Structure 1
Amino acid sequence: MLQSTMMNMPLTLNSILDRCGSLFADVDIISNTPDKQLHKTNYGEVARRARQLASALQKAGVKPGDRVATLMWNHYAHLECYFAIPSIGAVIHTLNLRLHGDDIAYIANHAEDRILIIDDMLLPLFREFEDQVSFERIIVLNYGGEPHTHEDYEDFLSSGNAQPEAVDIDEHWACGMCYTSGTTGKPKGVLYGHRSSVLHAMGFALPDAGNLSFRDTICPVVPMFHAKAWGLPYAGAMVGARQVLPGPHLDAESLLDLFSQTGVNFTAGVPTIWMRVYESLTREPTRWSLSENLRLFVGGSATPSSLIENFRSLGMTLQTVWGMTETSPIASVSTMRPEIDALDTDEQKRYRARAGIPLPLVELRVQTDDGELADCDGKTVGELQARGPWITNSYYNRPDAADSFTDDGWFCTGDVAAITPLGYVQISDRTKDLIKSGGEWISSVDLENELMAHADIAEACVIAVSHPKWMERPLAAVVKKPGAEISDTAVKDHLRQKFANWWIPDAVVFVDEIPKTSTGKFMKLRLREQFADWHWD
């Protein structure tokens, strides 16, 4: 076979570090500190310190393939770790600080993490599970002023030199590790590769995806401690964008203050974050001076169409994306194709709320319950399956999870979806969250989105509750907006405008808050447990 004349250059994260550290050395990296003072550095300094940290880790005995854990917020030092650890062939394992201590301990032990790099303000969390883990060394960043007796991050950094020992990294080596949220059993580990991470960063930056460039100022509100902040730190570094990292301050007012102070024009977060941001913007419309071109990516759970349209009324673009830990995680983005411009207003709204079209190199398909592949007609539903160069094809040390993959190599997402003729994914629900009532399926997501479109409802979650006649019936848990008054009858009447009577929840319960997972998704498992003994009147 005739071979190409192209050079065989491995795709590694080192190439991104070298590029941003030289071409964009003076470009800002701004971090919000615990006391809300802006810490400023740049790509050149981050690259220098990352190499020094890499050298220090080598002197500490870290070898290719070793796992180095981080327990940190979004800030400059975490970005240094993002590049330093993979640059010597080791694997950065970002521990999710919102998990229970027992779960963090299980994950760290299962991953066989050797070293922990941690923010001082997270030491109280660490002490909750300290006796369950056995890190060889604990290195603490003095971030919030918490006293400690562990190794200091800056002292550890100073033990390295300007250039770590060269490692001939294979692009297929693991560079990062993240565990799933564990909503259906023990969390499962996914190993991201150098090649997959570079390709994901390029895919994210494309015009019909994140549309990122060195003219942008980006802020990953999504956590660097889970799913690599959707790959945004790597994509931003690849194109040389200014990066603004919010630290521990994720309330709406703090985020808007940060956006206003630093000129952020691209950001990404989960729906619950943007719900609070919208409420703040409407409550104090003149408080913040935001970029005229502010774009917000939203994903992680279903996004109500009403929230997208609310931001449009403010002149802002809230753009849906879809993905999972297993997909690195961005697999599709809802950028509008020109054909959609000719559709009526309601249909355009529906398209804006869909999960989007797959990024280049990612393939998506729907498989029905009878094992057939669904046509892209926007109607035929089944399980959404994915494959591509940044989609996992196994879990770390979990042979029991082989049923998550098809015989022909596709990943089974567990999402119920249809695909339109234009290639847009419409996710109906998670397979485990569908409600089967009297032999018919009810989508909890559709009900939730319509509930949260009501002016008096802040959040809503719909779950299946066992029923003596119908097998299951929907129950709606609703959080009222502050000062709002709404009855269960009014809630049901609102839903009747869009849904058949048999879809309407038989009961509405008003709650102070809806439990959420570590990544901001509604924790339906907790609600099911809370209402397990529910008795219908």
Structure 2
Amino acid sequence: MNGLMQEHGLRISGLIEFAARYHGDTEIVSRRVEGDLHRTTYAGVNSRAKRLARALDALGLQAGERLGSLAWNGYRHFELYYGVSGSGRVLHTLNPRLHPDQIAWIIQHAGDRALAFDMTFAPIIQAVASRCPAVEHWIALCEAGAITPELRQAVPGVLSYEDLLAGQDDHYVWPEIDENAASSLCYTSGTTGDPKGVLYSHRSTVLHAYASALPDVMNLSARDCVLPVVPMFHVNAWGIPYAAALVGCKLVLPGPALDGASLFASMDAEAVTFAAGVPTIWLGLLGQMQREGRKPAALRSVLIGGAAAPAAMISAFQDGFGVEVRHAWGMTEMSPLGTVCTLKNKHLGLGPEQRMAVQVKQGRPLFGVDLRVVDGQGRDLPWDGASMGDLQVRGPWILRDYYRSGQPSPLRDGWFPTGDVVTVDPDGYVQIVDRTKDVIKSGGEWISSIEIENIAMAHPAVAMAACIAMPDAKWDERPLLVVVTKPQTEVSREELLAFYEGKVAKWWVPDDVRFIDAIPLGATGKIQKNKLRQQLLAAQC
């Protein structure tokens, strides 16, 4: 016997309609690439998104066809999120930090028929347009007068976004799309070969938005003001543009101004209560907070993901400024949230060191994410906080197949292999020991590069640290610590190695320390260990 409930599909258009109807006057504040501050509302976004949908009809883009975007976090990009997906097309967010060759390859692989871009990225468009014959419409996210002669020459027929919208009205009814229809497309960073496309559905996106707003995840409500530092081109800003509309909270979009001083000023002026981003970004904000001697006035909590958050960073936010830190983990293939480290009641009475031992973990799963840890033969390992194995996941917003891969599904018995080596404690808190490709195997035993890095980051002279495996004749691999020091500080190799005493087993202590000016970072702010290893090996030759 079936239940007697109404059937209404889960659609992205439903999120912006809800926000416009019940939170229509709530602000969306954007730092524009033009340099000024722009203010609109959910009602304004809904109206312009409908005009965009009509403009795409006029351009001849059909349901299911892809429109790419190369844009910062701003109101126009936010309108694309809803105008493109809500009308049945697929929004393909491109990472402008990739090499132009990769960008051109991804555009072609995705089969984008149109591409919208901020004028900041006009040089990229000029470099790749001739290599992307499938793109019929290039749309500059600006007024017509802002399009440069150089761009018009390189990309004949380039369109102005504002002109497109000006020619349409907002008398538009969102189509009743099947909830399993494709809504948006993101590509992995391509650190192990060509980037891979992950194609999300309306259903997966809305379910992810519901889960991410929960109290034990981002804890969002209409009373919040949210600033996603994580780019809207990086796994849909971790779903924040959807979760914000779902709860109707104020949204502050920082545009290209991601330095510590700019973020501090925006958070302070707009009464931001919650922000999300990768560790490298928070270093800049923390530095500004320390210079100011205070936090942005309303800031309550931050979500840190994309890479492991060192204990020193968590402590600096919490103990220094009273800002709660929630550690998170996920993947492009997971929409992206998988786990968030929110403490339980039983943790609140622990001493500082015991509590921090929980907070440095990546956390426990959201409802909707199931996980298991297996050994090399695929056998389940116990959740005892010590047994290390490969993490596998499944759930309604987790990838089944890569887009146009031409390869068999990556699933193993219905589970997606994440490529992470982890432990899980009896409460379900995941701690990532390493990426499978980065774990150091010395004498047949694993060493966690993440733990080595986190200890180094606790030293007052260390600004950034990376631990990589280097070949060793006796042990196969040994850890090497690579460090960037803070300005006007000094620390010796011997002092750093001594810093590990009593913190890890002696055989985990790195064999050596290299001091360099900068550690290479990838397009999403993660340390590029392969590139770093190549640089160091080349320097030895």
Which residue of structure 1 aligns with residue 5 of structure 2? 6
Is the Cα contact below 8 Å between 2:466 and 2:483 reproduced in 1? yes
Q: Which moved further from structure 2: 366-375 or 106-115?
A: 366-375
Paired letter, 1:183: T
Q: CA deviation at 1:83?
A: 0.2
Is the Cα contact below 8 Å between 1:444 and 1:463 reproduced in 2? yes
* 1:279 to 2:287 alignment: yes
Q: CA deviation at 1:534?
A: 6.2
Q: CA deviation at 1:136?
A: 0.2
Is the Cα contact below 8 Å between 2:140 and 2:147 reproduced in 1? no
Q: 1:43-442 to 2 correspondence within 5 Å?
A: 43-134=42-133, 135-142=135-142, 145=146, 147=148, 148-149=151-152, 150-164=158-172, 167-285=175-293, 289-291=296-298, 293-313=299-319, 314-400=321-407, 402=409, 404-406=410-412, 408-442=413-447
Q: CA deviation at 1:480?
A: 0.3
Paired letter, 2:533: R
Q: Which moved further from structure 2: 469-478 or 323-332?
A: 469-478
Paired letter, 1:213: S
Which residue of structure 1 aligns with residue 155 of structure 2? none
Q: 1:440-455 to 2 correspondence within 5 Å?
A: 440-455=445-460
Percent of residue pairs bearing the same amino acid type: 43
Aligned residues: 531
Q: CA deviation at 1:145?
A: 4.5
Q: CA RMSD in A?
A: 1.6
* 1:467 to 2:472 alignment: yes
| Cα deviation code 1:462-507 (max 9, x no counterpart) | 1111122221111111000001101111111112231223212222
Paired letter, 1:526: K
Residue 482 of structure 1 is aligned with which of 472, 487, 501? 487
Paired letter, 2:240: L
Is the Cα contact below 8 Å between 1:54 and 1:85 reproduced in 2? yes
| Cα deviation code 1:235-278 (max 9, x no counterpart) | 00111000000000111110001001111001100011112211
Which residue of structure 2 aligns with residue 527 of structure 1? 532
Runs (4 or more) in structure 1 with deviation over 6 Å come to none
Distance in 2 between the 1:359 and 1:9 partners? Answer: 24
Distance in 2 between the 1:331 and 1:174 partners? Answer: 21
Q: CA deviation at 1:289?
A: 4.4
Distance in 2 between the 1:35 and 1:353 partners? Answer: 39
Distance in 1 between the 2:349 and 2:26 partners? Answer: 41
Q: Which moved further from structure 2: 442-451 or 277-286?
A: 277-286
| Cα deviation code 1:187-227 (max 9, x no counterpart) | 00001110000000000111111111110000111000120
Is the Cα contact below 8 Å between 2:33 and 2:118 reproduced in 1? no
**Partner secondary structure for residue 532 of structure 1:** helix
Is the Cα contact below 8 Å between 2:453 and 2:465 reproduced in 1? yes
Q: Which moved further from structure 2: 437-446 or 232-241?
A: 437-446
Distance in 1 between the 2:399 and 2:96 partners? Answer: 23
Distance in 1 between the 2:289 and 2:462 partners? Answer: 17
Q: CA deviation at 1:127?
A: 1.8
Residues 122 and 535 (structure 1 numbering): CA distance in 2 closer, same or farther, change over 3 Å?
A: closer
Distance in 1 between the 2:329 and 2:253 partners? Answer: 22
Residues 289 and 219 (structure 1 numbering): CA distance in 2 closer, same or farther, change over 3 Å?
A: closer
Distance in 1 between the 2:509 and 2:539 partners? Answer: 17
Is the Cα contact below 8 Å between 1:63 and 1:88 reproduced in 2? no
Residues 145 and 508 (structure 1 numbering): CA distance in 2 closer, same or farther, change over 3 Å?
A: farther
Q: CA deviation at 1:101?
A: 0.5
Query: Normalising to structure 1: TM-score of the pair?
Result: 0.96
Query: Normalising to structure 2: TM-score of the pair?
Result: 0.95
